[in-house]
Structure 1
């Protein structure tokens, strides 16, 4: 009996503790009622060629040789190439009472018809005002007035651990609400370098795309965009476009039909611990400039290959992935301060932000010598580049081509067959003889940065020759 009394006393003592924790949890019931009227369901229709054979037994692959047999003996398919309608579902939300809606670009891209379903079950055809694939933002408009709108929050003020609520149509299940917390902010994904994503653990699935992500105050702070999944369904990692980025792009689309993004004109790579040591940095930080596009804003400002960008407009870069979103969200024509480390000293350069072009490529010819340097201190075989190789590998002048890598310093640095060595330390490689002289002068026991070009992309490697 005394043991039971002790248990009851302990339970009573614990009640206030659990009660306090429970009181701290958010109550989403009223929030969902308040914000749901401004959330919409989006369905699209796209006409596509049907992948079915028009004659029984006819191969579906149009390049199959048997197709010629069917055409010759049976003539062309009746009625031409058959078509079918591809349908998809997504979500969105109303940002102005005159019918302007925000969603994802991938939800409506290529659609022949877009239908918006409101919370009161009205269905309205929507006009695509414009979309921006780089940020995955699209703006729609329907012919309705006096619509409920979302309240836009401050995505810059988000902190990890905050509660968030997602509303959308996963798998077509309209007005599904899911909650979670902010798992990370400023997350850069490989395929979307211009968006500093908000990562959450709120359950998001196909159909949630384009829907709003709310904070605990009922303000939109993000646009649900994508998930990380090995199954196609939710696995605890979902990503939203910060509303500040989405609204900036939406405003540009409304004003001109398209969005513009800042452009610096550099290719950057992470600063590994070995590279940090070779450049004289105490720790890995910043973005290492691998190349600078000729005539770009970076070139005009004096940025060089080998510079390490430490900050952009007074925002410190912990890694290379921090730079693209900062540049992409800068206004074209604005001046930006770029602090770099060069030759062991820090300096600040002023860059006028340009507009991101669609694509730029450079090429050029020279040299046809076939001399090789093999073995040596690096256990490496290199050769001159001929005119065909220069044109194919996009190396106008200088450099040597790696044709073999043995077990030694070159392999440990990460050099592989097919790399083009452009620079060793501060010296640009002119030819094989010059490369051999540079290698002979390498200090033993100290890492030296080496610039190579691999599959068309510049890359720094930390090369270290061991002491004998």
Structure 2
């Protein structure tokens, strides 16, 4: 009887061990992460101060080290420190400021015996266990563990990169460090944390390894030329904007402002246009524009289709020209509003739509409208062509107004009397395109 009990007890223990092993799978090789750490460096200033700038890692042949552009900043040379204490000087040979990637060339044979980090052979999967290596807050060669939280996050509208979101702890000093799998193979390069906070809150972003390889191969010997910009500011066509314009199911991006001297102005783009496609690349969210521009970068002239009023117009955009942008200061973000008519929401207007005053703590005030601004269109109807529109206008459904701001730019505001007030939401460059992960 005791023998049977011992056998059952042993079986239970084996089942517990098996479950534990399944929940926490062992690394393929005990030394794999050690090898990744050996190929990771602290990046310091090349002076007597030796101030920590961030992290970097050996990536490919010919003594190439990858890091973030924001890590090296204005430095032309940096000091690299390995986990075994060896140091070497590296020269910044190429930078891609838009994608936040910099390439360094080690100037000696100090690290020639170090094995570069290899790219993972399979793409990362949702829920995959990953490891971040770097120097958070100067804590040398720290390793943190997490999982892939999401794939394909485009966190800045003008950057054609879809990032890996993960929850391995990273902090200032981790930037430029590698994100690796359990084999120590490269998944990406840690670049940002969510919402611009200085401390990790569970959301981090890494530039995928595939992007690093493409950029490295393209800019190995020279700085990547800046990506072309059209010289405009856009926003999504939300259901409220679509309803105001009677568009039905919304598709496209709304032009808020066209900058003087830009490519868009030369092509005839106007504030209020709905951009539908660029060079046969559909535009459904603001971030699509960056990928479309990247796709047509080697072309000279491409077609831009816009919805103006109720008609589709095709404009010729000369993407090869050099714009001479006369940038206006960035206007503040609009806030939510609530009321019934122009006068009731706190606006005193002249006959041509200029805002004479805004009542303090009124809904127009909370919306962000200011004295000196001028309403120039309501629901795409130009006030200059319809002077009686403003005098008789009352908000009976969400209305879209185009306003000329005092700084010279134009911007759309949605006036919605039925939306509950007080839902002011902080928005940052780290997650402005991912509204579901905005930090409240």
* TM-score normalised by structure 2 residue count: 0.71
Q: Name 2:177's counterpart in structure 1.
A: 211
Q: 2:138 aligns with which of 172, 190, 199?
A: 172
Distance 1:465 1:183, change over 3 A: closer
Closer, same or farther: CA 342–107 of 1 in aligned 2, 3 Å: same
Q: 1:125 aligns with which of 72, 83, 89?
A: 89
Q: Give me the whole-angstrom Cα distance separating, in 2, the residues matched to 1:412 and 1:435.
A: 28
Q: What is the Cα deviation at residue 198 of structure 1?
A: 2.6
Residue 355 of structure 2 corresponds to residue 402 of structure 1: yes
Higher RCO, 1 or 2 (CA under 8 Å, sep at least 6)? 2
Please name the residue that 1:41 is paired with. Answer: 42
Q: Quick one: structure 1 residues 328 and 137, their matched pair in 2 at CA, closer, same or farther if it must change by over 3 Å?
A: farther
After superposition, the Cα gap between the structure-2 partners of 1:435 and 1:290, relative to the gap in structure 1 and judged at 3 Å, is: same
- CA drift of 1:210 comes to 0.9
Task: Say whether the 8 Å CA contact 2:55–2:67 is kept in structure 1.
Answer: yes
Unmatched 5+ stretches in structure 1: 48-84, 364-373, 385-398
Among 323, 329, 332, the alignment partner of 2:288 is 323
Q: CA deviation at 1:348?
A: 6.5
What whole-Å deviation, never above 9, does each CA across 1:305-364 have from its counterpart, x for those lacking one? 2223355566655543x235425644633366655444346677664534786953379x
Match of 1:227 among 184, 193, 196: 193
Aligned partner of residue 396 in structure 2, secondary structure:
coil
Contact 1:169 1:207 in 2 (8 A): yes
**What CA distance in whole angstroms lies between the structure 2 residues aligned with 1:358 and 1:131?**
23
Q: How far apart, CA to CA, are the structure 2 residues paired with 1:245 and 1:30?
A: 27
C-alpha separation in 2, matches of 1:347 and 1:160: 41
Q: How far apart are residue 201 of structure 1 and its match?
A: 0.5
Q: Deviations over 1:407-459 (max 9, x none)?
A: 999679764434222323334344xxx67512246586344432113363422
- Aligned residue for 1:151? 118
Q: Could you tell me how far apart the structure 1 residues matched to 2:206 and 2:405 are?
A: 33
- SS of the residue 1:151 aligns to: coil
Find the counterpart in structure 2 of residue 420 from structure 1: 374
Q: Confirm or deny: 8 A CA contact 2:283 2:289 kept in the other structure.
A: no
Instruction: Please give the secondary structure, in 2, of the residue aligned with 1:326.
Output: helix
State the secondary structure of the residue aligned to 2:388.
helix
Q: What secondary structure does 1:236 align onto? A: coil
Can you list the C-alpha shifts for 1:254-301, whole angstroms capped at 9, x where unaligned? 343343213222211233332121123445664211123355443455
Give the Cα–Cα distance (whole angstroms) in 2 for the partners of residues 330 and 360 of structure 1. Answer: 26
SS of equivalent to 1:254: coil
List runs of 5+ in structure 2 lacking aligned partners.
Answer: 330-340, 419-440
Matches within 5 A, 1:88-127: 88-111=52-75, 114-118=78-82, 121-127=85-91
The answer (yes or no) to whether the contact 1:198–1:242 under 8 Å persists in 2 is yes
* Structure 1 range deviating more: 402-411 or 256-265: 402-411
Among 411, 414, 419, the residue aligned to 1:459 = 411
Match of 1:380 in 2: 347
Q: Is the 8 A contact 1:154 1:243 kept in 2?
A: no
Show the counterpart of 2:297: 332
Cα distance in structure 2, aligned partners of 1:255 and 1:136? 17
Counterpart Cα distance in 2 of 1:86 and 1:144? 19
Cα-to-partner distance string for 1:145-184 (whole Å, 9 max, x where unaligned): 65532334599x5554333222222333433222212223
Deviation at 1:115, TM superposition (A): 1.2
Structure 2 counterparts to residues 245-324 of structure 1, below 5 A: 245-251=211-217, 253-282=219-248, 286-294=252-260, 296-310=262-276, 319-320=285-286, 322-323=287-288
SS where residue 220 of structure 2 aligns?
helix
CA distance in 2 between counterparts of 1:378 and 1:250 reads 54
Please provide the CA RMSD for this pair.
4.5
Q: Across the two proteins, how many residue pairs are aligned to each other? A: 395
Superposition TM-score, scaled by structure 1 size: 0.67
Higher strand share: 1
Following TM superposition, by how much is the alpha carbon of 1:107 offset from its aligned partner in structure 2, in angstroms? 2.1
Offset at residue 228 of structure 1 (A): 3.8
Higher helix share: 1
Are the equivalent residues in 1 in contact too, given 2:136–2:174 (CA < 8 A)?
Answer: yes
- Aligned-pair CA distance for 1:192: 7.6
Residue 143 of structure 1 deviates from its aligned partner by: 2.8
